[in-house]
Structure 1
């Protein structure tokens, strides 16, 4: 089974690894090197790093639409193209190249949460189950026929980073099974019920600003869902505070955003219905730390409202 792999971030690496060990990965397509970090040094993608380690030819078109890039794919004549968080849309001409089609590994249980940030919004939306789905790619975003799924439980305190790592490994397991089934001729296609679809948009920092007039559980979900990026934020005495960890308390609230008390357990803040315990923060010009560590040399003004 000849495979061309298209992917970019760390999430896609386990899929590349397992395919490279069990099939013939002819080439890897990934995003061009980008400036990264404070120094803005050019950095290669996680998928490129792994491909080079495995001595797999790497292609990095800025836009995979040029005739020379399409010709490379035609010359390779892959049996299947596997796409995992590549970051570019494929034309119908490319979708038609591989013998068995283009297969995408998507980090949700389709048709729920199509789009750019499915695992984040599974947590933000308070869902109890997530997973990965393999699907045949079509021109419309994440609307292709489904092939197979693996479900994963979302626990009460799980962050998007933790779910990312679990789904990344499950994606590797699933694409191995899917490609093996294709090779054996045992593949099954299930059309998506588009009426059940939901959407997970691309994240930005504005989405991560905490609205204390929301229920405590919603805020807790937002904090988990945007950890490790873009990180939930709020204001305290005019400065921006990053919030990394929290839990919902079984205490009635009456004044959203108001700091009720602080201790080594954390910072207790009123929300719309219940109170939220903030456990880990990053104050302006400080390192990330627990509230317990922060109050050893600093204090919070009880009665002050966060977000103002």
Structure 2
């Protein structure tokens, strides 16, 4: 896809995780000048606790773009750096810090955020996961002018995508990363052409979603099977849904809702060649892909070849 603007913009890009990388790449591909990248500090990762670069930093270094990693971007040192760089626009995508007014007022075209939901719904830190968990039929991305509040600024453009029946957090994340990157470049064109709209958000339609905590993944079989199935997809691949089997953590990667009236909540009521069916408050949850503590992730068909599951066991 080609994008044409009157001139290339001078951009400061602020972002941190994988979701942000695609947008940075698209800005570069579109011919804009990325003056600098600001991202979160390096962090220890994995069992060895080796220091790992944020994905955005890795991409910036590939393109020889200067990288700054402020603990607090509002500190005077970084505000002065931004002021001296004199960007036309600041683009933020999952940066992880709130920008103060002292920064918001610097760029000619303002500070533009790419948010992974159809605002004003799903403001906050985990919009992709919650859209799946809540059973939404569609999701998307919104570009917006940044304001003092969290995800409260005027909206510019939106792009919508359906949430498929088997959609996971991971698959929707990847779709929205691509969608958001294209939408941001389209937004930059509109900004320079003077055609960018400012649509005020209706606060009465908003809701702030809470960050995802690992404990959210503990499956409560007193809930309905459909709720649990959505939770499993919404936490796949991280942090994952789980229960316990024989005092070992059992991660659940894929499940289906099946009719089931017999048994008590959490009880294994049937084992077939490719599923382990658990009674829930409403219907049954058929486990299809699982991972027992200390083992690799596998289809239930393969798991049952080496593990004896007893009907009547309560998870």
Q: Which of 190, 197, 218 is equivalent to 2:199?
A: 190
Of 259-268 and 83-92, more deviation after overlay is shown by 259-268
The yes-or-no answer on 1:138 pairing with 2:147 is yes
- Aligned residue for 1:37? 46
Deviations 1:127-181 (A, max 9, x none): 1100000011111100111111001100111100000000000011100100110
Hey, what does 2:113 align to over in structure 1? Answer: 104
Taking the aligned partners of 1:65 and 1:49, their CA distance within structure 2 comes to 23
SS of 1:164's partner is helix
Q: Is the 8 A contact 1:253 1:275 kept in 2?
A: no
**Structure 2, unpaired ranges of 5+:** 1-8
Is the aligned partner of 1:294 residue 2:287?
A: no
236, 248, 252: which is aligned to 1:243?
A: 252
State the match for 2:23 in structure 1: 15
**Alpha-carbon displacement from aligned partner over 1:90-119 (angstroms, at most 9, x marks no partner):** 111111111111100000000110000000
RMSD: 1.0
CA contact (8 A) 1:253 1:273 kept: no
Deviation string for 1:18-38 (max 9, x for gaps)? 111221111100111110111
Deviation at 1:253, TM superposition (A): 5.0
Any conservation in 1 of the 2:132–2:168 contact (CA below 8 Å)? Answer: yes
Report the equivalent of 1:232: 241
Matched residue SS, 1:89: coil
**Count of aligned residue pairs for this structure pair:** 306
Alpha-carbon distance between aligned partners in 2 of 1:185 and 1:48, rounded to the nearest angstrom: 31
Q: Match of 1:295, SS?
A: helix
CA distance in 2, matches of 1:189, 1:255: 53
Q: Which residue of 2 aligns with 1:5?
A: 13
Once the 2 structures are TM-superposed, how far is the Cα of residue 255 of structure 1 from its aligned partner?
Answer: 1.9
Give the match for residue 5 of structure 2: none
Is this contact kept in 1: 2:129–2:234, CA < 8 A? yes
Q: Whole-Å Cα distance in 1 between the matches of residues 140 and 94 of structure 2?
A: 15
2:63 & 2:271 partners in 1: Cα distance?
Answer: 52
1:221 counterpart residue number: 230
SS at match of 2:87: coil
Stretches (4+) displaced over 3 A? 250-254
Instruction: Please tell me whether residue 199 in structure 1 is matched to residue 208 in structure 2.
Output: yes
The separation in 2 between residues aligned to 1:301 and 1:267, in whole angstroms, is 10
Deviations 1:183-220 (A, max 9, x none): 11111011111111122211111111111011111000
Contact 1:253 1:272 in 2 (8 A): no
Give the superposition deviation at 1:265.
1.8
Q: Distance in 2 between matches of 1:63 and 1:208?
A: 31
